[in-house]
Amino acid sequence: MRAARLTSPATTPTGPDVAGGVAPVVLVAHGSRDPRAADATRALARAVSAARPGTQVWASWLDHTEPGPTEVLRGLAAAGHQRAVLVPLLLTAAYHHRVDIPAAVSAAVRAERPLAVRVTDVLGPADGTVDPGLLAGLRRRLTEVRPGRFDALVLAAAGTRDARARRSVGQAAEALGAEFGVPCRVAYASAAPPAAGVAVSRLREAGARRVAVSAYFLAPGLFHDAVTEAARAAGAVAVSAPLSDAPELVEVVLRRVDDPSSGHVVAPAG
Mean pLDDT within 253-269: 87
Quick: pLDDT tens for 174-232. 999 999 999 999 999 998 899 999 999 999 999 999 999 999 999 999 999 999 999 99
Q: For 7-28, how does the pLDDT look when each residue is reduced to its tens digit (9 = 90+)? A: 445 543 333 454 346 899 999 9
| Residue of 209, 202, 196 whose CA lies nearest to 147 | 209
Portion of the chain with pLDDT greater than 90, in percent: 74
Q: How confident is the model at residue 39, as a pLDDT?
A: 97
- Stated pTM of the model: 0.89
Which of 34-38, 51-55, 124-128, 138-142 has the least mean pLDDT? 124-128
pLDDT tens, 104-118?
Answer: 998 888 766 778 999
Cβ pair 205, 197 in contact under 8 A = no
Q: What is the pLDDT of residues 138-181, one digit of tens each?
A: 999 999 999 999 999 999 999 888 898 899 999 999 999 999 99
What domains are there in the chain, each with its CATH number?
17-124+247-266 (3.40.50.1400), 146-239 (3.40.50.1400)
**What's the mean pLDDT in 27-34?**
93
DSSP 8-state assignment for residue 100: I
- pLDDT greater than 70 at residue 98: yes
| CA atoms of 192 and 205, how far apart (whole Å) | 21
Q: Is 42 exposed, middle or buried (0-12, 13-18, 19+ CB in 10 A)?
A: middle
Name the E strands within 24-139. Answer: 25-29, 57-61, 83-88, 116-119
Q: Alpha carbon of 226 to those of 89, 96, 190, 205: distances in Å?
A: 21, 22, 10, 22
* Contact (CB, 8 A) for 196 and 227: yes
